[in-house]
Structure 1
Amino acid sequence: MTSLPQTRHLATAVPGPRSQALMSRKQAAVSAGVATTMPVFARRAEGGIVEDIDGNRFIDLGSGIAVTSVGSSAPLVVDAVVDQVRSFTHTCFMVTPYESYVAVAEQLARLTPGDHEKRSALFNSGSEAVENAVKIARAFTGKDAIVAFDHAYHGRTNLTMALTAKNMPYKHGFGPFAGEVYRAPMSYPFRDVADVDGAAAARRAIAMVEAQVGADNLAAVIIEPIQGEGGFIVPAPGFLADVAAWCRANGVLFVADEVQSGFGRTGTWFAIEHEDVVPDLIVSAKGIAGGLPLSAVTGRAEIMDAVHAGGLGGTYGGNPLACAAALAVIETIEGEGYLGRAREIESVFRERLSKLQEADARIGDVRGRGAMIAVELVDPTSGNPDAALARAVAAYAHGEGVITLTCGTWGNVLRFLPPLSISDALLHEGIDVVAAGLEAAR
């Protein structure tokens, strides 16, 4: 039983006086480069609700960007972390290893696609894991080039900024970036012309790669099975499978970046499963550990073992608190049937958002899978992206007690990432607020 009421409640205007005061302190002490989406400061969070320091309770349709998928303060996660804190907080796995790191790697071998022998290495963030996946691919293949895709987001380190497509706010002013990174066109069904289906989009991408990079130089293709920051773009059926088949035929590794789409978010453990593709390497983070910093690269044993001893690691990689949390997250997802719950959440969003789309030409597209759903907002006359509308609707929702996020290359996409533990009542109430925000912005 949760101790935080699972109801939306506005005790003050948003932001309230305590949040305003703390924001002043933040501006005086924290780099201006660290922005915040919400104008409030959290005090506690449980299930599908976040409470701020003024006593306002917000419906959480963001999950800390797909992190608290089992709900904030999930009981098994809390208990596992508390127990681990009492035992030890750190030894560095590379110095004095511990069982929970091994247990997480065993679970990843069980849960990730494919029945081949696998190995894992654990890190702290999605960016760090992506960077290490590139290192592993280069070590195994002996080749340097990496191909990423239009609209991609892979992180904020120097190498992952090179992989990321969007300039602002992720890349602007931070170059020069790592070399031997190339970009291919993505399958984007809403914006592709009618005759560019999955197969045609794959041919388009492969032709560019063959002409501008060459398979003999290419270590890996890295792709998000559902693009996150780029706008929750779900590629057309067959696109991922055809790209993966070309990779297999040409000695190129296929790397699935499941940082945002993994760990039950889309109704399967990993979004790539919807396409019946088995990647050579798969990257996990965000939802893996219920809010504690943990990420992983999991892949074919011969690939993962190609790196020399000591070539992978990091002082905090696979921290014991995070590993304990990850094992509890897996137990919670399986015990609570959260894969099925993600599909139920998709049904709620699709029914509600599709009805809104029928009555509102500004909603150009409704897309996504599971509890990873988005609407792309457009000018109804031209079809051009309408970022101002997305900002206005999000701001309205924030003021009315609903956490919503925007994304997309043009900033015109509203994305919904509720915790899998959220109730249908909170989902419907949150969507009601978003609908009111759309109406208010007419």
Structure 2
Amino acid sequence: MTVLSGASAVPQERRLVTALPGPRSRKLMARKKNTVADGVATALPVFAARAGGGIVEDVDGNRLIDLGSGLGVTVVGNAAQAVVRRLTAQASSFTHTAFSVTPYEGYVEVAEALAELTPGEHAKKSALFNSGAEAVENAVKIARAYTKRQAVVVFDHGYHGRTNLTMALTAKNMPYKHGFGPFAPEVYRVPVAYGYRWPTGPQNAGPEAAAQAIDQISKQVGADNVAAIIIEPVLGEGGVIEPAKGFLPAIRRFATDHGIVFVADEIQSGFCRTGQWFACEDEGIVPDLITTAKGIAGGLPLAAVTGRAEIMDAAHAGGLGGTYGGNPVACAGALGAIETMKELDLNTRAKAIETTLKARLLALADKFDVIGDVRGRGAMIAVELVKDRETKEPDPRAASALSAACLQKGVLLLVTGTYGNVIRFLPPLVIGDDLLDESLDLLQEALEQLGCGTGETSPRREAS
């Protein structure tokens, strides 16, 4: 088939030539056990050899359908032509000077692209880093410098990274925080509008959750003490939770009214993933600062904080940076990735993927009562698995079993969520329709083999 990004070195066909994991992957896993720290875990026990389009080929020659995009990174696919072309040219010129020592044009070009693409018509500036956690941590530094305040407000089910400060910002204990404290102070957590699990129903979640969050901030923290409110417009690691309508605008208004820097963490949801350049655009949210990483550079390590020029300039000279931040090769990758997103109109492609995924997953929810909810936007879709639709008791065992069963069929699927009971679909936006359809056929087979039950007497699940 034709890959959207052009010819791929990897044939766009699922192929299984060994049981999974194959013998070479098993040998490599044994070597990993001997030399790599146990804390560096892997979700799937297969070692990659090459990848492109919607396929990952392992070291044993198995070709697997990729519904994970390396944790949402390869929006434009692996080894996209424009990415490879630009980074190869840059690497042949120089690979590093440190922008803080001898600057280079690529860094400036990325900052210019971010100013163009991010929401809002105000003057913007950017600072580049290596990872999403670094971006979030620096957004906090910038907000504190600008407001002269200390408190930071985050939300239930949120994920913001693994550094000490971002562990404090992250909601989930295991595996991200357990045993690693004490954490940074002056971090406060408030409710989010998780429609599926909101006590009075999804129709009330937006206004009620916003009112509760604002009340807690006002009474327990004090609005005048808050430097920043940080939220993912779609909460990724928390379970692909799209806050109920009205929640984000209410929180944004509260931040504006009280001089609080509103930070949109778009590390997973940005760069066409949800069918818009950034997920906060869905309800017209214009953040003061926006953090990006993952899809920004076609697989190269790069992250950014972009925001209002007067806020970004609050940090003193030398207060932002890092040896590798905005590495020239990574910047070249970003320019190639953005070129690909524009050329292939990947926002439109993400919306088409959403149409396919939701239609098929809702049909499966009619048949299998383990599926409690279908939700998400664009190519950021999830199903939440439950033991009982009435109680909504999470079923993490079913999620793990389903992911493992799909792997045996040659489909890479990731488990997520605060309760470990959510299967998320984060395919590369260049995946072919045939691979997407085949993966959903195999998902149905896995559900049937696991005996997940029929939903013939259960109410139909509507997409969130």
Q: TM-score range by the shorter chain?
A: over 0.9
- The residue type paired with residue 377 of structure 2 is R
Which one of 284, 297, 313 corresponds to residue 289 of structure 1? 297
Corresponding position of 1:62: 68
After the TM superposition, which of the residue ranges 374-383 and 66-75 deviates more from structure 2? 374-383
Tell me what 1:76 maps to: 82
Q: Distance in 1 between matches of 2:25 and 2:55?
A: 17
Tell me which of 309, 329, 335 is aligned to 1:321.
329
For 2:442, the equivalent position in structure 1 comes to: 433
> Which residue, out of 396, 412, 417, partners 1:408?
417
Q: Does 1:165 align with 2:165?
A: no
Within a 5 Å distance, the mapping from 1:267-286 to structure 2 comes to 267-286=275-294
- Shift, 1:3, TM fit: 2.2
User: How far apart are the structure 1 equivalents of 2:335 and 2:319?
Assistant: 26
Look up the equivalent residue of 1:32 and give its one-letter code.
D
Q: Tell me, yes or no, if structure 1 residue 367 matches structure 2 residue 375.
A: yes
Equivalences for residues 36-51 of structure 1 within 5 A: 36-51=42-57
Amino acid of the residue matched to residue 212 of structure 2?
Answer: R
Q: 1:237 aligns with which of 245, 248, 251?
A: 245
C-alpha deviations, 1:170-221, integer Å up to 9, x for none? 0000000000000000110000022633122111110111111011110010
Shift of 1:383: 1.6
Q: What displacement does 1:225 show?
A: 0.3
Poorly superposed stretches of 4+, deviation over 6 Å:
none
For 1:411 and 1:441, the matched residues in 2 are separated by 18
Q: Distance in 1 between matches of 2:155 and 2:232?
A: 9
| Aligned counterparts of 2:129 and 2:109: Cα–Cα separation in 1 | 15
Q: Distance in 2 between matches of 1:202 and 1:232?
A: 19
What's the secondary structure of 2:61's corresponding residue?
A: coil
Residue deviations 1:389-428, cap 9 Å, x none? 0000000011111110010000000000000000010001
2:405 to 396, 399, 402: 396
Partner of 2:396: 387
Q: Would you say the 8 A contact 2:194–2:205 is kept in 1?
A: no
Aligned residues, how many?
Answer: 442
Cα distance in 2 between the residues matched to 1:212 and 1:311: 31
1:303 aligned residue: 311
TM alignment of 1:110-259, pairs within 5 A: 110-192=116-198, 193-194=200-201, 196-259=204-267
Q: Distance in 2 between matches of 1:148 and 1:292?
A: 28
Q: Are 1:392 and 1:437, in contact at CA under 8 Å, matched by a contact in 2?
A: no
- Structure 1 gaps of 5+ residues are none
CA deviation map 1:32-57 (0-9, x unaligned): 00110111100000111000000000
Q: Secondary structure at the match of 2:197?
A: coil
CA distance in 2, matches of 1:213, 1:441: 47
Does the CA-based 8 Å contact 2:69-2:428 persist in structure 1?
Answer: yes
What amino acid sits opposite 1:419 in the alignment? P
Decide which moves more: 275-284 or 380-389: 380-389
| Structure 2, unaligned runs of 5 or more | 1-6, 452-464
State the Cα deviation string for residues 93-140 of structure 1 (Å, max 9, x = none): 000000000000000000000000000000000000000000000000
Q: TM-score, normalised by structure 2?
A: 0.95
Alignment of 1:346-365 (within 5 A): 346-365=354-373
**How far 1:257 moved relative to its partner?**
0.3
Could you state the TM-score of these two structures normalised by the residue count of structure 1? Answer: 0.99
- Residue pair 2:144, 2:150 contacting (<8 A) in 1 also: yes
Task: Give the alignment's Cα RMSD to 1 decimal.
Answer: 0.7
